[in-house]
Structure 1
Amino acid sequence: MSPVFPAGECNLRISVYQSSVNGVEYLSMCLESKDTDKNVVLSDRSCWCLFRMSVLNQKPGSNHMHRDSYGRFAADNKSGDNTSLGWNDYMKMSDFVGSDSGFVVDDTAVFSTSFHVIKEFSSFSKNGAVIGGRSGSGARKSDGHIGKFTWRIENFTRLKDLLKKRKITGLCIKSRRFQIGNRDCRLIVYPRGCDEFLYDFDAIRAVSATMPPFGVS
């Protein structure tokens, strides 16, 4: 594991290890969130991050290895956010350690990550009053709840331009959690649209945190 480095409200580190996937040995690589400040409430710390993890080729004229991913990191997994994102099958070990590959030279390998953390602000207010009750037959009616969740993302166009440059489609940005009734919910934003829609536009939807968003695997 690498030394810890800051990314928004979180502290991240590169983790590299070896895994066997379907009988094939792979180099695995991921980003992990690591809390270093015990005085901060962990559940309040999170950041949404688009990141690229790379293995640098030390052979002149050869290509580096890159893979892109994204997600919301948190200092722990109590909020339902990620503490680790990456790949068990980043690249085959045979390609990584091959004598002519250029990734390992003089028993030295170079790993790097670049990342874009969105600058965001969110607030949630709600009316604690419950609208509802029981009908004359004794059947319970659905409770009503009144509230407002506001989520501001700055430099949104810059993120869209970066996604277009890297030819990334179907990506979604997930907000922090907020509660409607007894359900944990989030806003999900697709900066370049998603497969459910015919056109390239900003698609916004709300989902329960207990249900997977469509268009995302």
Structure 2
Amino acid sequence: MKKKIAYSLTYLLLLIGISCSNDESLTTKDNQKNSKTAKGSQITSSVNSSYPIYRFFKNGTGHLYTINFDEGQNNGYTYEGILTEVYPAVDNSVMTALTITRWFNKNNGDRLITITPNEIANDIFTYTNTDTNSPYIPGTKILKSSTKSNGGWVYEGIIGRSGDFYNYSNNTISFNFGAKGIYRYYNSNTHDHLFTNSFYELSGAEGASGYSYDGVAFHEEN
């Protein structure tokens, strides 16, 4: 069994820490660009098949993170590479891989992918999709009834599962030893979140180009 590293829920939002990485830039491999693709939030891959999260950028709009390559290409974004690969989200009653969900801020145009959506729980726009009987927004533990008409963040769907796990038996978060981190930065001037698989793309914890370091957003599954 792989060794797990557990950390306190106190640090859940930022997941501060540096995973081992020698990369110097976001990977730009294209060999899987047109395969294992999902349409919107409906993942077409099997549970055991991974698929990419693509990173795009458009001046004046910011970054887009999507599992549907056509979404970025058809909307005027410039392709920047594959952020990471993920698997479809699957629940387990004992230990659950935290789900990566995507959000859009209708007030400033920012897009966010997160495994801790409670960080924006007080500012979520009314969720009206009733395709399931669950009282929660898919992939979260946020009640649909708690969303509000003046909320700024719009739910855009499930990206996949992370390599971070919530253990219900002891209320801790863990990830596999050696799992690579996906790093999160934010530019408060342009209201843009940047996620990267390279700790050195924006000068590590110092940040660069107007972006401040927010910590490890989630870990890859390994």
Normalising TM by the smaller chain, what interval? under 0.3
Between 1 and 2, higher relative CO (CA 8 Å, sep ≥ 6) is seen in 2
**TM-score normalised per structure 1:** 0.25
In terms of fraction of residues, the more strand-rich structure is: 1
**TM-score normalised per structure 2:** 0.25
